[in-house]
Amino acid sequence: MKPGFLDDLQSPWVDSVFNTLTPEERIAQLIMIPVYSNKDQAHIDSISNIIRTYKVGGLIFFQGGPVRQAKMTNRYQAESKVPLMVSIDAEWGLAMRLDSTIKFPYQMALGGIDDLRLIYNMGEEIARQCKRLGVHVNFAPVVDINNNANNPVIGFRSFGEDKYNVTRKALAYMHGMQDHRVLANAKHFPGHGDTDVDSHLGLPIINFSRIRLDSVELYPFRELMDSGLGSLMVAHMNIPVLDNTPNLASTLSAPIVNDLLKKELNYKGLVFTDALNMQGVAKFYPPGVVDVKALLAGNDVLLNTMDVKTTIEEVKKAIANGEITQEEIDKRVRKVLAAKQWVGLDNWEPIETEHLIEDLNNPYAQYLNRQLVEASLTLLRNKQNILPLKSLEDKRIAALAIGTDKETEFQRGLARYTEVDTFFLTPTTSISELLELKQKLQDYDLVVAGVHRLNLKAGSSNFGVTAEMNLFLKDLIRSKPTIVSIFGNVYSLAEFESLDKADAVIAAYQETPLTQDMASQIIFGGVGANGKLPVTVNSAFRLGDGLTTQGSLRLAYSMPEAVGLRTQDLAGIDSLVRQAIAEKATPGAQVLVAKDGKVIYQKSYGYHTYDNQTPVLNTDLYDLASVTKISTSLAALMKLKSEGRFDENKTLGTYLPMARGSNKEGLLYRDILTHQAGLQAWIPFWKETVKKNGRFRWRTFKDEPSRRFPIKVADNLYMHRKYAGKIYRQIMESPLNEKPGYVYSDLSFILAPKVVEAITGQEFEEYLKENIYRPIGASTLTFNPYLRYPLSRIVPTEYEPHFRRQLLHGTVHDEGAAMLGGVSGHAGLFGTANDVAKLMQLYLQDGSYGGRTYIGGNTVSAFSKCQFCEEGNYRALGFDRPAKPGAQNSNAAPSAPAESFGHSGFTGTYAWVDPVNKLVYVFLSNRVNPTRENATLSKLNTRTNVLQVVYDALEKSQN
């Protein structure tokens, strides 16, 4: 199959342009000069001068930035007599040359992907980006078969060592680009995969037989040619079996280019030289001379011509000497012009530079990149199916970064799933430091090691793997369960002794934030492993190796596109939260949205307080206020229900000894949990402790802790050890409401810890952590966070002037919970949106998460149903539900279905679960900072309006 542009050789446009060209200008059409968008004005002007003076046919852009390149392209196209063919090396996307663009995986990583459609889509997207930037030729794919592990120039740029795999991937990439009118370019003919010399620096000699070249190196070229390959690039190599001229590169060899490629293989597409300033040719011939030799050998386009004037003069001499005919030059010029027409240069328009960066980094491309990385990551060891990690509650996990002393994206990714402690081993770590690190790691049940900052190219000092790193990892693998993820050239795996003895090994092929993100998700089962090794590394890790694991075990972290939504349709979330901050409804916030088990939106906004000193991070803890009710009391009661130890149809007195004999004894738990048992809304317990003069009664609080006053209520405020008993008595002695019906009450949830402790014999917080929080990896869900976390990670709430008279930072906002030592069932829990989401996902999945069931028997789905809707009480058991489904300014988003449930909190928090649309939504803020009198967040309806943005996006996706 011939390239499509050959149909245009005799087109009116080609004819009309050709007929305007002088003989010198025809020669110039075969010349492409190098251009840099990161150089100075002198360089920019010098290129203009060449274009105007000599009318060159094209440009190859090297390092720089997209906007600068676009502006230069616009200028040069306007100055050129014939539209310029613009080319670039974008093997892994524009990021190979340009900043501010998306870096797709290296071809070696793509070689590990089974799904060819993903690679086609990548070719398609790279073509879109090239066209957006005014680029017409992408010098990709590399079809060299990398069967030499020490290849210093190809290596990770190849799809691998198997000719069939290389060909399949190359075809998909090629078709993706050419189906969108960007010329693909197969390189480096006739095959640069089995060399140990970098042709940028010298001339490799290939001593293969013709049979070997035919069966291996030439195979992918032939297959791509048969499928309509638009162009290819000839390598600088000396191949005696094809041309035994000493020191002659294949680029300059007529037997290779003209006889083998054009005649024997009958290739009709455009033939490009490799760069003519590379030492493989440049050290043997001066500029101009090397160009004419390349033209005489049969190449159509001279790449990186360094002396245009001399080149044109040398070609004219060759024509005059009869070495090449004007007719042959004209034929090649027509081919170049036909290719220009095919890529759209007959209707050239200037590049629009506005929104260029956004367009090149569009969400579809970002999501495609995520899919490619996920599909490529290759799991090479998985002893006893250690991955994905199962029980988290019984594991102390160390996250070790080898090769760096800075916290890595991999470590941050692991920490999303459970608590991990971070350690570092640099190439310069001393022996004493190594021994100290080894000792520290002994305390851990599992070490997850990431190997970072490896050298990319073969032959560069063992890829940067030092003897110390090697020995340390070997010893670690021998002494402790160890998971190793190598973020670098896959051949570097051979540099680590005993790597195959590790409990799990992940080959990530390269080091980017995305590869580290996805590797961390594989370890915890957010996503599954599917990649296959495209090369043999050593006897332990061979071609085709790669184990599979299941994903969706725990939350995955992705993008709206992963669930069929569009990133731009969620942009309203940003606007709403920023409006709330601007109107001083809250100094900051965390927002998380998950759908179908995937976190598709996770962002932190603003600052801890209005002094704008500490930005809110995803890892910061907020006071959850009444979200505590569904995260603690209800979680425990539902678990006990599923175990047959609690029944909502029984009374408070059944479970709570102190209720017996009181007016609370006979209250049904079903009524209690739906707030219609007649309990008072709340009791201001703290007022009993204050005398008329504003001072505390002497047996209530002291400003220093002691045996009698051990309970910290706030900074410099400690409560009497027996005062909690008085709080419970106040509740028991309180009258019931005179009128029956719904009255939202904190009181039963204040009693809930005592109920749980009476049933289990275990302290409330420890019961929750042991049975739910630790197993699901929700390590930040905790009471009294000041005991475990630095204040810099805890967001302050109110400056409270009446009772505690201070800024509440690290201690609970709610007065009653504070007086119970910070531990209560109605308020007092702190946590991140990320960890609240894990619990809400467990509720969405009816009590299951991470491959285990924590609340069985369909208990969550039963508790989350409306209990007394007919009587006008819309609440579920413990959960809030939409009071008026479809209503504006209600307790739920207008589009939230009646089946959805959750809870809000006084401090500005909100957690919601929608089983119909499989949504989890968490909004955390400290709207009470600096005062609870600030009701702006509720007036703006920010919390429910943010969720409505998600519903609107869902609706758009279904239309």
Mean pLDDT is lowest, of 455-459, 560-564, 607-611, for 455-459
Percent of the chain surpassing pLDDT 70: 100
For residues 646-653, average pLDDT? 97
Q: Per-residue pLDDT tens for 112-126?
A: 999 999 999 999 999
- Does 234 have pLDDT greater than 90? yes
Q: Per-residue pLDDT tens for 805-846?
A: 999 999 999 999 999 999 999 999 999 999 999 999 999 999
- Mention every residue, 6+ apart, whose C-beta is less than 8 A from residue 559: 363, 366, 367, 370, 567, 600
Q: What pLDDT does residue 957 have?
A: 95
For residues 920-936, average pLDDT? 97
Q: What pLDDT does residue 745 have?
A: 94
- Name the band, by pLDDT with cuts 50, 70 and 90, for residue 687: confident
For residues 282-290, average pLDDT? 90
Domain ranges of the chain: 4-359, 377-552, 585-600+616-697+733-929
Of the options 3.30.450.20, 1.10.730.10, 3.40.50.1700, 3.30.365.10, the CATH number for the domain spanning 377-552: 3.40.50.1700
Q: What pLDDT does residue 682 have?
A: 82
- Does 151 have pLDDT greater than 90? no
Q: Which amino acid appears at position 251 of this protein? A: T
For residues 516-540, average pLDDT? 98
Structure tokens given for 433: 């430091």
For residues 619-643, average pLDDT? 98
Cis (ω within 30 of 0) for the bond into 388?
yes
Q: Per-residue pLDDT tens for 322-368?
A: 999 999 999 999 999 999 999 999 999 999 999 999 999 999 999 99
For residues 789-797, average pLDDT? 98
Q: What pLDDT does residue 884 have?
A: 85
Q: What pLDDT does residue 740 have?
A: 87
Q: What pLDDT does residue 895 have?
A: 97
- Name the band, by pLDDT with cuts 50, 70 and 90, for residue 850: very high
- Does 150 have pLDDT greater than 70? yes
> Residue 530: how many CB atoms within 10 A of its CB?
21
For residues 941-948, average pLDDT? 98
Structure tokens given for 824: 């209560």
Q: What pLDDT does residue 460 have?
A: 63
Q: Are 136 and 347 in contact (CB under 8 A)?
A: no
Q: What pLDDT does residue 461 have?
A: 78
Q: What pLDDT does residue 689 have?
A: 84
CATH code of the region 4-359: 3.20.20.300
Q: From edge to edge, which strands make up the β-sheet containing 829-831?
A: 622-623, 829-831, 782-783
Structure tokens given for 195: 């060399």
- Mention every residue, 6+ apart, whose C-beta is less than 8 A from residue 544: 532, 533
Q: What pLDDT does residue 383 have?
A: 98
- Name the band, by pLDDT with cuts 50, 70 and 90, for residue 278: confident
What three-state secondary structure class fits 139? coil
Q: Per-residue pLDDT tens for 40-86?
A: 999 999 999 999 999 999 999 999 999 999 999 999 999 999 999 99
Question: What is the overall mean pLDDT for the chain?
Answer: 95
Q: Per-residue pLDDT tens for 418-450?
A: 999 999 999 888 889 999 999 999 999 999 999
Shortest CA distance to 542 belongs to which of 609, 474, 482, 491?
491
Percent of the chain surpassing pLDDT 90: 89
Q: What pLDDT does residue 551 have?
A: 97
- Does 723 have pLDDT greater than 80? yes
Identical fold between 4-359 and 585-600+616-697+733-929: no
Q: Which amino acid appears at position 829 of this protein? A: L
Superfamily the domain 585-600+616-697+733-929 falls into: DD-peptidase/beta-lactamase superfamily (3.40.710.10)
Q: Is the dihedral of CA 843, 844, 847, 852 positive or negative?
A: negative
